Amino acid sequence: MADTYWLKQTRDKPLFEDLLWSRPENKRHGGKLLIVGGNLHGFAAPGSAYGVAGKAGIGTARVLLPDKLQKTVGKLIPEAEFAPSTLSGSFSKMALAQLLEAAEWADGVLLAGDFGRNSETTILLDSFISKYQGLLNLAGDSIDYLINSGDDPFRRYNFVITADIGSLQKLARPTVIKHGFDLLMMVNVLGELTATIDAQIITKHADNFIVASGGQVSTTPAPKESRWQTELPAYTSVWWLQQPQKGFEAITSAVYEYLN
């Protein structure tokens, strides 16, 4: 694959500067994002995503959590809503109708993570992913559910995956992805992979954030920090739902804004 498909962004020069100036100025036009995640023993991922979505310029954000968290989180996130949970505190499969209804309200959905390990939650997420046809961003351990579903993880349209290299290795099989790849090799592999699927991929490798979509790839030098898998998906969700026809450009611009 020729490296003409590889666009390089720096932290002080965005690739798509026009998008930075064409964002909604009025919050009413900033879009609606549904953030889903959490379990009785952890809700940092959806909680952080909710705060970051506000910084990223979302118009309205709603958070859906298991109802076992209502006493704990109700006062911390007044806007939170709660769906049926299992006895162990993860989402129950009975939450599907409420999740689909909330998703129908939204312009996009972020499965933020902290779902925990539960067979009922697996059924719920698998059903939701197969039924929901809107813009969907998968992050955190929601990707584990995708990997373990047994189906082709790239079977649906309109979704973004924010994943580390280890998760991508499992998602992309039989495509070979290795930690030892240099940046050029990783760019070529992800470009070739996304040329054949509808998913858009965000990962971090060789001290760069990599965005791959429709055979195009952008890279941006990245700092050595560990919060990107929690915070960056919120930025990309907001940018993507505000520019749904320009997924690659929007997500690349979201990376730029996240770093600045």
Predicted confidence (pLDDT) at residue 183 exceeds the cutoff of 80: yes
**Pairwise CA distance, residues 128 & 100, whole Å:** 7
Task: Provide the whole-model pTM.
Answer: 0.94
- pLDDT > 70 fraction of the chain, expressed in percent and rounded: 96
Angle of helix 119-131 relative to helix 96-105, nearest 10 degrees?
40
Provide the pLDDT for residue 3: 58
Provide the pLDDT for residue 6: 96
**pLDDT single digits (tens) 155-164:** 767 899 999 9
pLDDT confidence band for 198 (50 / 70 / 90): confident
CATH 3.40.1190.20 matches 3-259: yes
Asked whether 15 and 7 are in contact (CB, 8 A), the reply is yes
Amino acid making up residue 110:
L
Closest CA to 25 of 242, 256, 189, 176: 242
Is residue 16 classed as helix, strand or coil in its secondary structure?
Answer: coil
pLDDT confidence band for 137 (50 / 70 / 90): very high
Predicted confidence (pLDDT) at residue 115 exceeds the cutoff of 90: yes
| Tokens 């690659």, located at residue | 248
